[in-house]
Amino acid sequence: MRRENKKRLLIFLIIFIVLAGLFAAFLVLEDYFRVEKVEVIGAERYTEDEIRDMVMSGTLGDNSLFLRLKYRDKEIKDIPFVEKMDVKIEDPKSITINVYEKAIAGYVEYLGYYMYFDKDGIIVESSTRRIEGIPFVTGLKFDHCVMYEPLPIENKDVFAEILSLTQLMEKYDIQTDRIYFDRNMEITLFFGEARVFMGNFDNIDDKMIRLQYIIPKLKGMKGVLHMENYSQDSHNDYITFKTDE
């Protein structure tokens, strides 16, 4: 019996030493591969913390070795407003997350949802979330919306105009509440209770350049600023403000 007990004790000790060694090795490796630096590139519609949480979720989510195996030759998709993301392991303690966002020109409201469309008018996202920096477009006539299909309006050229407007607003740091297109596809920009009637797309770059300096003066005003006849070569008399009655 004593010999059997000694044998059992020896086996137990061996197992304990092996397990303790494996546990110690695991702790060393876990510390060695623990990610301490995360660089997020290309994210504008999500914060760096939000992107980090998406990529590094779950058990061992902060382990670079695990992340290398998890995302090896694999792109992260099915995230709203994101075309794809990929993860690059720079070294055991640092990773880079590249975010490729969907190119969105604007959005319309339909049945309580915000339908985001690209430069070709194709609906690329449906959400209850309003994304700052993307213009809200009104005045377009349509009776239905289908994901990944063009917004069904007659004048398809308006989408190129919306994209150009978005780019110009970004360039000149202009924040508008919404863009309105009337039946003649002429443009009105809303800034609180002040509206700016831009008219058609003629001289739109000149109009936007001038508008960036006028916007601060519109704060608290109610009425329409007429810029439809303005161009860089015209006189400021072509800009008039009509107060609401």
Q: How many residues does the chain have?
A: 245
User: What sign does the CA torsion over 165, 202, 188, 184 have?
Assistant: negative
pTM given for the model: 0.69
Nearest to 172 by CA among 201, 224, 136, 211: 211
- Predicted confidence at residue 224, as pLDDT, reads 93
Q: How many Cα atoms occupy the beta-carbon half-sphere of 84 within 13 Å?
A: 6
Q: Using CA atoms, how far apart are residues 14 and 16, in angstroms rounded to an integer?
A: 5
Q: Where are the domains of the chain?
A: 32-101, 106-243
Q: What are phi and psi of 9, to 5 degrees?
A: -65, -40
Contact 174, 212 (CB under 8 A): yes
Write out the CATH class of domain 106-243. Answer: alpha beta
Q: For 240, left (φ over 0), alpha (ψ -120 to 50), or beta?
A: beta
User: CATH topology for 32-101?
Assistant: Ubiquitin-like (UB roll) (3.10.20)
How confident is the model at residue 29, as a pLDDT? 61
- In this structure, how many other beta carbons lie within 10 angstroms of the beta carbon of residue 46? 20
* Contact status, residue 187 vs residue 199, Cβ threshold 8 Å: yes
pLDDT averages per 10-residue partition of the chain, 245 residues: 65 71 60 87 90 87 86 82 90 92 89 90 89 88 90 86 87 90 92 92 90 90 91 76 85
**DSSP bridge partners of 63:** 34
